[in-house]
C-alpha cells in the first residue's frame, strides 16, 4: 500500500526526490532536498524539506474524499500560517497543493547521536537509555520541559488547540521546542478543549516516559502556568487559566473512571 501511495505522490511531484520518513492514518510524510521555488534555498540555510501528503481514501466516495482532502489541507495550512503570525515556534509553510492534499514545509531539528530524529520523545528516550537517573532529570531536561509548557500556553492563549499533543509532535532544534503535525488542530476559546490538549500531553508522557513522567509533567505544567501568569492580560488571563485547570481536573477524573471501567 505504501508503494502505491508513493507512486501517487510522485505523480503530483514529478522529478522531486522523495524519501518516506513516517506514515500515519491520515497522511504520509516525505523528506526532500528540493525547494519548490528556488535552487538555492535560504530558509534557515536548509538543504532538506518536508512534504506532507494526504492520499485518497478508497473507502470514501471520490467526490466526498476530494472535498475532505482539500478542506483539511487548507485548514492545516491556514493553521500553520496563523502560528507563524502569532510567533509560535513551528515549521514555516513553503507551498501547498490543496486539491491533491500536499503541504510543503520547513524541516526542523536534526539527528540524535543514535541517528533518530530529534523529537522530544526520541531525545528523552535517548537520555533514559544512555544516562543515569540524575541526567534524566537534570536542569537541562527541566528547562526543555518548562519550554514545552510555555509553548503550549502561547498556543492556547491564541485560542488554538493542537489536538494531538504528544512528545512525538514536538521537535527540538538548538535546544528549543517546536510544534509539528496540525492535522487535528482547531480553534477554540473553551477551557474544556485546552484542558483536553493538556491531558493528552500528560497521558502521552506517562505512556512513553513512565519512569520520569511525574517530573516531566510537573515541569511542563509549571511552564504552562508561568507563561499564562506572566502574559500581561490581567484578570481575563487569570480567569481563563483557573477555568482550564478546573476542567483539567475534570478531564483527569473522567479518564480515571474510563480506566477503571475498562
Kindly list the catalytic residues. Answer: 164
Count Cβ atoms within 10 A of the Cβ of residue 109 and give its class: 0-12 exposed, 13-18 middle, 19 or more buried: buried
* Nearest Cα residue to 140 out of 160, 154, 156, 120: 120
> Per the structure block, which three cell numbers stand in for 19?
524519501
Residue with cell 510567533: 87
* Nearest Cα residue to 9 out of 33, 38, 40, 30: 30
Sort strands 49-53 and 28-32 into parallel, antiparallel or unpaired. Answer: antiparallel
**Dihedral sign for Cα atoms in the order 110, 209, 175, 136:** negative
State CA 41 to chain mean position distance.
24
- The rounded radius of gyration (Å) of the Cα atoms in the chain is 19
Q: 51 forms bridges with which residues in the sheet?
A: 30, 104
Residue 86, helix vs strand vs coil: coil
Residue with cell 540524575: 134
Amino acid at each position: 500500500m505504501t508503494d502505491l501511495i508513493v507512486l501517487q505522490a510522485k505523480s503530483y511531484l514529478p522529478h522531486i526526490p522523495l524519501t518516506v520518513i513516517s506514515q500515519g492514518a491520515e497522511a504520509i510524510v516525505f523528506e526532500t532536498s528540493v525547494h519548490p521555488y528556488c535552487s538555492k534555498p535560504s530558509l534557515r540555510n536548509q538543504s532538506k524539506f518536508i512534504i506532507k501528503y494526504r492520499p485518497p481514501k478508497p473507502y470514501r466516495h471520490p467526490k466526498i474524499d476530494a472535498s475532505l482532502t482539500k478542506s483539511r489541507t487548507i485548514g492545516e495550512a491556514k493553521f500553520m500560517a496563523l502560528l507563524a503570525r502569532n510567533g509560535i515556534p513551528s515549521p514555516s509553510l513553503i507551498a501547498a497543493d490543496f486539491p491533491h492534499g500536499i503541504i510543503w514545509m520547513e524541516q526542523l531539528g536534526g539527528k540524535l547521536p543514535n541517528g533518530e530524529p530529534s523529537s522530544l520523545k526520541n531525545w528523552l528516550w535517548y537520555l533514559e537509555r544512555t544516562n543515569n537517573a540524575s541526567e534524566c532529570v537534570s536542569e537541562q531536561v527541566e528547562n526543555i520541559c518548562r519550554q514545552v509548557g510555555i509553548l503550549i500556553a502561547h498556543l492556547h492563549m491564541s485560542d488554538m488547540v493542537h489536538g494531538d499533543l504528544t512528545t512525538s509532535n514536538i521537535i527540538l532544534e538548538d535546544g528549543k521546542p517546536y510544534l509539528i503535525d496540525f492535522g487535528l488542530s482547531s480553534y477554540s476559546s473553551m477551557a474544556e478543549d485546552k484542558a483536553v490538549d493538556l491531558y493528552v500531553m500528560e497521558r502521552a508522557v506517562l505512556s512513553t516516559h513512565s519512569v520520569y513522567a511525574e517530573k516531566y509533567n510537573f515541569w511542563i505544567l509549571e511552564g504552562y502556568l508561568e507563561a499564562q501568569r506572566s502574559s500581561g492580560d490581567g484578570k481575563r488571563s487569570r480567569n481563563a487559566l483557573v477555568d482550564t485547570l478546573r476542567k483539567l481536573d475534570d478531564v483527569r477524573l473522567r479518564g480515571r473512571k474510563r480506566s477503571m471501567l475498562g
